[in-house]
């Protein structure tokens, strides 16, 4: 086989990633369909891995080779989400960018097991925040929990998104390229004002070393793991855990599912309904049908 295409090498230089025609064509196809930058990067990495596996340019790879590569991923026991993301990326590349008229049903998605999300109690949330000493991260993670934000949404926040008169926070172009409003807690507003006075952000609220650029997602994810360990929490905690906790705590406080759906920016109510299975308060408060039976039906048994 030939050498791997420089356009989809596993670690292309910045210059290559900008000028290589095949990579540029795929990027343009994704931009026309308004895919997020995060999805674009993930799709390009998937095609790069395919090219590296066969050590040949990806546009010279045939359908059965793609199928064999996906089988290889299954044998490696990669996660369900990584497998399905890779499958979607390759289907996009060969169907859209290269215009291959293949039977893509031969590349099925893997059925993912339905697992309930990890949720923190309110005491654990307080424990997590108590472990955060730096004002920037305390403000950032408080915003995630208080507003139910995703990582990409919190790092994209601007000062202009805070409406203190109406006490709402605007989430611009969240998942699915949708805007939405969420409540602005007075406690969060005070914390954000303290943060603003101390750091004077310009372009985005939460910036990295370069004040003109938002804080990197990976930095936020690492910080979350650090604070969870420092807090002594044993659950597997990610930034999304705070979002799950936001939804569950609202449900337990009596907020209806439709409102929670709007606050989270979910397209389907079925997605939001997952939290009815997570709320232990609701589960514990629901009487068992055994308790509804008369005493005669359950008592009087002899050893």
Residues with catalytic annotation? 150, 175, 240, 243, 266, 275
Lowest mean pLDDT among 91-95, 114-118, 295-299: 295-299
Residue 282 has pLDDT above 50, yes or no: yes
pLDDT tier at 268 (50, 70, 90 boundaries)?
Answer: confident
Residue 3 has pLDDT above 80, yes or no: no
- pLDDT tens for residues 78-91? 888 899 999 999 99
* Pairwise CA distance, residues 206 & 141, whole Å: 11
Q: What is the pLDDT of residue 6?
A: 47
Phi first, then psi, for residue 57 (nearest 5°) are -60, 140
pLDDT tier at 278 (50, 70, 90 boundaries)?
Answer: confident
Q: What is the pLDDT of residue 14?
A: 45
Residue range 62-87: mean pLDDT, rounded: 92
- pLDDT tens for residues 113-171? 777 788 999 999 999 999 999 999 999 999 999 999 999 999 999 999 999 999 999 99
Residue 98 has pLDDT above 90, yes or no: yes
Residue 8 has pLDDT above 80, yes or no: no
pLDDT higher at 229 or 278: 229
Domains parsed from the chain with CATH numbers: 6-106 (1.10.150.130), 122-285 (1.10.443.10)
% of the chain beyond a pLDDT of 70: 86
pLDDT tier at 295 (50, 70, 90 boundaries)?
Answer: low
Residue 303 has pLDDT above 80, yes or no: no
Q: What is the pLDDT of residue 70?
A: 94
Residue range 18-33: mean pLDDT, rounded: 86
Residue 1 has pLDDT above 90, yes or no: no
Count of CB atoms situated within 10 Å of the CB of 204? 19
* Pairwise CA distance, residues 125 & 230, whole Å: 13
pLDDT higher at 68 or 111: 68
């Amino acid at each position: 086989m030939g050498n791997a295409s420089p356009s989809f090498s596993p670690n292309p230089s910045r210059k290559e990633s900008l000028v290589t025609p095949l990579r540029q064509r795929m990027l343009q196809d994704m931009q026309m369909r308004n895919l997020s930058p995060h999805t674009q990067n993930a799709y390009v990495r998937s095609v790069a891995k395919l090219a590296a596996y066969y050590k040949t340019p990806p546009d010279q790879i045939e359908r059965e080779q793609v199928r064999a590569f996906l089988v290889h991923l299954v044998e490696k026991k990669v996660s369900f989400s990584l497998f399905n993301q890779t499958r979607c990326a390759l289907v996009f590349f060969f169907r859209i960018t290269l215009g291959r008229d293949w039977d893509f049903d031969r590349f099925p998605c893997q059925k993912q097991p339905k697992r309930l999300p990890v949720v923190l109690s309110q005491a654990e949330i307080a424990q997590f925040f108590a472990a955060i000493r730096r004002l920037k991260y305390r403000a950032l993670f408080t915003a995630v929990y208080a507003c139910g934000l995703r990582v990409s949404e919190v790092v994209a926040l601007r000062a202009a998104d805070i409406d203190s008169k109406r006490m709402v926070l605007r989430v611009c172009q969240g998942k699915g390229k949708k805007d939405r409003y969420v409540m602005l807690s007075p406690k969060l507003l005070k914390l954000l004002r303290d943060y603003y006075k101390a750091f004077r952000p310009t372009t985005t609220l939460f910036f990295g070393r370069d004040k003109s650029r938002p804080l990197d997602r990976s930095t936020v994810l690492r910080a979350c793991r650090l604070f969870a360990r420092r807090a002594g929490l044993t659950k597997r905690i990610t930034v999304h855990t705070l979002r799950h906790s936001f939804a569950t705590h609202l449900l337990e406080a009596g907020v209806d599912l439709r409102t929670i759906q709007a606050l989270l920016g979910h397209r389907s109510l079925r997605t939001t309904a997952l939290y009815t299975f997570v709320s232990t308060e609701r589960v514990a408060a629901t009487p068992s049908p055994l308790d509804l039976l008369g005493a005669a039906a359950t008592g009087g048994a002899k050893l």
